[in-house]
């Protein structure tokens, strides 16, 4: 039965997922209030739930593929909530808005935490909460899981621009709307060498994010349903076959009863026909000393003999009643 988070996620992912990854996602959901299923769907799309994943074209690393600058931004804002205040304070903002850490060893220690499943999930959840407010303010409406994922993938400003075009002109080429993102994510913005439309990119993201969430719900539901009972249904017999089967059963029962009754009747008949000296023994014979003598009976009734003729008549009646 698929009755726990790891088995459900592994079933949806199609492979065994590391326990520390599942626990990290679950812990982040509980601590931040962000949907566990959403975090799983986002990490599945970003890294295939591999905390050691590395992008080949950018600085993105970890379960949620944070780039260096985005990680420093989110870590600086939220690290102190999760016991990382001392490290978060080492992150400074330059005049141009970029972030840096003066000590290379400390910078590496901070960036390496992207590969820690729980810390990466915590920062992703906090980033999602911030982006939700930004997007809803820009779009003046609530946003769903796929739209919130686009804010992680494209940044909140890029997602707002993309979603605005999706609503007004979804047939436009997505790579022309976000050329920088398209250069680093060719498989998302192009099908082979053919550029995808905004609607096609959005549909791909929706199938991935909303689809994973839906598959998790269906997997949990299937695990809770009892297994169906297999009932063997035998086909009905034709009337003539049913009568033949019933006749065979009656004949079998009759033969069984005769085989039990006849030996008893025959034995009683033989006993009745035997000579008194053969059937009852010599009354004057001295009993064996090794056998105890029974106590004398007062007024012992005389055994009544069985009428041989009446017994034979009874046997004939039994035969006739069973043999027809």
Q: Which residue has the higher pLDDT, 280 or 160?
A: 160
Give yes or no for residue 49 having a pLDDT over 90. Answer: yes
Overall average pLDDT of the 312-324 stretch: 62
Measured between its terminal Cα atoms, the distance across the chain in Å is 61
Give yes or no for residue 204 having a pLDDT over 80. Answer: yes
pLDDT confidence band for 288 (50 / 70 / 90): very low
Within the chain, all domains assigned CATH 1.10.530.10 are found at: 5-224
Give yes or no for residue 51 having a pLDDT over 60. Answer: yes
Overall average pLDDT of the 52-77 stretch: 96
Percent helix, strand and coil across the chain, each to the nearest 5: 65, 5, 30
Q: pLDDT digits over 107-119, tens only?
A: 999 999 999 999 9
Q: 3-state DSSP call for residue 141?
A: coil
Token pair listed for 228: 């169906």
Q: 3-state DSSP call for residue 180?
A: helix
Tell me, what's the pLDDT at 303?
46
With contact defined as beta carbons under 8 Å apart, do 241 and 233 qualify?
A: no
Overall average pLDDT of the 53-63 stretch: 94
Q: Which residue has the higher pLDDT, 301 or 169?
A: 169
Topology of domain 5-224, CATH: Lysozyme (1.10.530)
Find the angle CA(131)-CA(137)-CA(138) to the nearest 5 degrees.
90
Overall average pLDDT of the 191-201 stretch: 97
- DSSP assigned state of 16: -
Least confident of 91-100, 176-185, 211-220, 229-238: 229-238
Q: pTM value?
A: 0.69
pLDDT confidence band for 289 (50 / 70 / 90): very low
With contact defined as beta carbons under 8 Å apart, do 318 and 261 qualify?
A: yes
Tell me, what's the pLDDT at 252?
74
**CB atoms inside a 10 Å sphere around CB 317:** 10
Overall average pLDDT of the 297-307 stretch: 50
Give yes or no for residue 209 having a pLDDT over 80. Answer: yes
User: What is the DSSP track for 236-289?
Assistant: PPPHHHHHHHHHHHHHHHHHHHHHHHHHHHHHHHHHHHS-HHHHH--TTSPPPT
C-alpha 214: how far from chain center? 15
Least confident of 120-129, 140-149, 152-161, 308-317: 308-317
With contact defined as beta carbons under 8 Å apart, do 143 and 135 qualify?
A: yes
Q: Which residue has the higher pLDDT, 301 or 68?
A: 68
Tell me, what's the pLDDT at 225?
74
Tell me, what's the pLDDT at 278?
42
- Burial of 122 per CB tally in 10 Å (0-12, 13-18, 19+): buried
**CB atoms inside a 10 Å sphere around CB 285:** 7
Tell me, what's the pLDDT at 257?
62
Average pLDDT, the chain: 84
CA atoms of 170 and 287, how far apart (whole Å): 119
- DSSP assigned state of 115: G
Least confident of 30-44, 157-171, 251-265: 251-265
Q: pLDDT digits over 252-283, tens only?
A: 766 766 676 566 556 555 555 554 444 344 44
C-alpha 157: how far from chain center? 40
């Amino acid at each position: 039965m698929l009755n726990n988070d790891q088995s459900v996620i592994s079933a949806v992912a199609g492979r065994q997922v590391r326990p520390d990854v599942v626990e990290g996602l679950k812990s982040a959901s509980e601590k931040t209030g962000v949907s566990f299923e959403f975090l799983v769907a986002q990490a599945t799309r970003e890294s295939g739930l591999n905390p050691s994943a590395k992008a080949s074209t950018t600085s993105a690393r970890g379960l949620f593929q944070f780039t260096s600058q985005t990680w420093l931004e989110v870590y600086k804002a939220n690290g102190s909530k999760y016991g990382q205040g001392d490290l978060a304070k080492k992150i400074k903002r330059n005049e141009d808005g970029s972030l840096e850490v003066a000590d290379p060893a400390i910078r590496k220690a901070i960036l390496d935490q992207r590969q820690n499943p729980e810390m990466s999930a915590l920062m992703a959840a906090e980033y999602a909460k911030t982006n939700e407010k930004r997007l809803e303010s820009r779009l003046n409406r609530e946003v769903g899981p796929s739209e919130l994922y686009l804010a992680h993938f494209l940044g909140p400003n890029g997602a707002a621009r993309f979603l605005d075009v999706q609503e007004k002109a979804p047939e436009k080429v997505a790579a022309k709307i976000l050329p920088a993102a398209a250069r680093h994510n060719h498989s998302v913005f192009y099908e082979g060498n053919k550029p995808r439309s905004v609607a096609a990119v959005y549909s791909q993201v929706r199938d991935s994010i909303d689809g994973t969430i839906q598959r998790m719900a269906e997997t949990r539901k299937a695990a809770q349903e009892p297994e169906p009972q297999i009932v063997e249904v035998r086909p009905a017999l034709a009337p003539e076959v049913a009568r033949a089967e019933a006749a065979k059963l009656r004949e079998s029962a009759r033969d069984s009863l005769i085989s039990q009754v006849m030996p008893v009747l025959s034995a009683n008949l033989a006993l009745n026909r035997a000579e008194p000296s053969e059937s009852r023994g010599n009354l004057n014979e001295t009993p064996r000393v090794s056998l105890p003598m029974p106590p004398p009976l007062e007024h012992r009734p005389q055994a009544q003999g069985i009428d041989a003729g009446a017994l034979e008549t009874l046997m004939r009646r039994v035969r006739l009643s069973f043999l027809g």
